[in-house]
């Protein structure tokens, strides 16, 4: 009986594929048939391409066209840069790791890949708080907004988002405080071809509170006030318009409607981020508390749901921002290279 079991184990080991077949400490590859692997790689590659191209269009558009040089768009461009870098430096390598179950890119890059992963996630949520704050000021304090939120102020908010995201990444993954008290578990699963970002319960709880639950509460609070105030402004302006038609009044009414629409679009961006990253944020706390018993496929699924958020953002801009569609046309048709193209009006003033 024992001999039969040992023979069975040998057969399983013979059938297993290894990341590094020449090594006796190699990780085992994930087994997929050719059709399944082709479909999975095609889907993920498509998402990565959309992420890179879509966010590159946002960056080029806002940087090139002078009409788009607004405080809000400076924050949108900086957020697009976060998403673009995630698509370039994190997603392609995570794709191979998730679908093959192997890390072929060396231990040193594994370290930096993990740092980039945490940095860009943290920077994204901080940019979204900045955008929510900008919209709150624009809708709730329209007269003071031009002096409160200038290009330099929005630039400072974007820079601060990058700095705080970097500080958090290096103070956790950078000095490996995320692996504290996990040394025995890491040693038990360590193999050649592995690159796993493990976060202990303390760091996961702190990170989730600071970068997910607290920001979500802040953003929900701001957007609730934005929509209440914008509705109040719109109703008040409509009543005033009925009593005294005026050209200036019409312009103010159009401005109120424009700000409300902009707030709605960016609210969708914020809501999408929360929906994409909330599942991972929850399991990142639950998993270490349950001694990492979460199925690996489920963990990977939630990680990729978070990554795909960077794919959704330019799609949202394309659906709700007419300027994005126009600038995309100008870029694709190469009209962006014409003289004085930066002065082209990409949306009605």
Q: Is the pLDDT of residue 180 over 70?
A: yes
Q: What Cα–Cα distance (Å) separates residue 171 from each residue in 111, 122, 214? A: 13, 12, 19
Please state, in angstroms and rounded to a whole number, the distance separating the CA atoms of residues 59 and 46.
Answer: 20
Question: What is the model's pLDDT at position 234?
Answer: 65
pTM: predicted TM-score of the whole model, two decimal places: 0.86
Helix, strand, or coil (residue 192): strand
**106 phi/psi in degrees, rounded to 5:** 90, 155
pLDDT digits (tens, 9 = 90+) for 258-292: 666 666 776 787 788 888 888 888 888 788 878 78
Topology, domain 31-343: Rhopdopsin 7-helix transmembrane proteins (1.20.1070)
pLDDT digits (tens, 9 = 90+) for 56-107: 999 999 999 999 999 999 999 999 999 999 999 999 999 999 999 899 999 9
Q: Which two tokens stand for residue 110?
A: 């594994």
Q: What Cα–Cα distance (Å) separates residue 248 from each residue in 67, 234, 237? A: 22, 15, 11
Going by C-alpha positions, the residue among 58, 132, 124 that lies closest to residue 86 is 124
Higher-confidence residue: 15 or 257? Answer: 257
pLDDT confidence of 174, banded at 50, 70, 90? very high
Query: Residue ranges of the domains in the chain?
Result: 31-343
Please state, in angstroms and rounded to a whole number, the distance separating the CA atoms of residues 232 and 268.
Answer: 21
pLDDT digits (tens, 9 = 90+) for 215-253: 888 888 888 888 787 777 667 666 665 555 555 556 666
Question: What is the model's pLDDT at position 1?
Answer: 42
Please state, in angstroms and rounded to a whole number, the distance separating the CA atoms of residues 116 and 295.
Answer: 24
Q: State the CB neighbour count (10 A cutoff) for residue 21.
A: 10
Question: What is the model's pLDDT at position 246?
Answer: 58
Higher-confidence residue: 318 or 249? Answer: 318
């Amino acid at each position: 009986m024992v001999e039969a079991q040992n023979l069975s184990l040998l057969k399983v080991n013979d059938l297993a594929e290894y990341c590094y077949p020449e090594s006796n400490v190699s990780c085992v590859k994930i087994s997929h048939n050719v059709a399944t692997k082709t479909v999975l790689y095609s889907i993920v590659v498509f998402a990565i391409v959309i992420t890179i191209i879509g966010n590159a269009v946002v960056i080029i558009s806002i940087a090139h066209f002078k009409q788009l040089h607004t405080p809000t768009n400076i924050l949108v461009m900086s957020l697009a840069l976060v998403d673009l870098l995630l698509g370039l430096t994190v997603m392609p390598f995570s794709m191979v790791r998730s679908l093959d179950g192997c890390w072929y890119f060396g231990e040193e890059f594994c370290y930096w890949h993990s740092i980039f992963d945490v940095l860009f996630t943290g920077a994204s949520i901080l940019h979204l708080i900045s955008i929510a704050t900008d919209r709150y000021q624009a809708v709730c304090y329209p007269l003071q907004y031009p002096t409160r939120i200038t290009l330099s102020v929005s630039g400072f908010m974007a820079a601060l988002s990058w700095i705080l995201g970097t500080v958090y990444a290096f103070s956790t993954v950078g000095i490996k405080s995320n692996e504290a008290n996990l040394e025995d578990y890491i040693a038990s699963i360590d193999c050649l071809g592995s690159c796993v970002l493990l976060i202990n319960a303390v760091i996961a709880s702190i990170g989730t509170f600071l970068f997910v639950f607290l920001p979500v509460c802040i953003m929900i609070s701001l957007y609730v006030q934005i929509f209440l105030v914008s509705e109040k402004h719109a109703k008040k302006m409509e009543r005033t318009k009925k009593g005294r038609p005026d050209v200036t009044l019409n312009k103010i009414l159009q401005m109120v409607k424009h700000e409300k629409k902009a707030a709605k679009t960016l609210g969708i961006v914020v809501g999408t981020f929360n929906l994409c990253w909330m599942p991972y944020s929850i399991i990142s706390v639950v998993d270490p508390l349950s001694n990492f018993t979460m199925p690996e496929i489920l963990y990977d699924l939630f990680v990729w749901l978070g990554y795909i958020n960077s794919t959704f953002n330019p799609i949202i801009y394309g659906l709700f921002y007419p300027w994005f569609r126009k600038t995309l046309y100008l870029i694709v048709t190469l009209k962006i290279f014409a003289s004085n193209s930066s002065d082209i009006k990409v949306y009605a003033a």
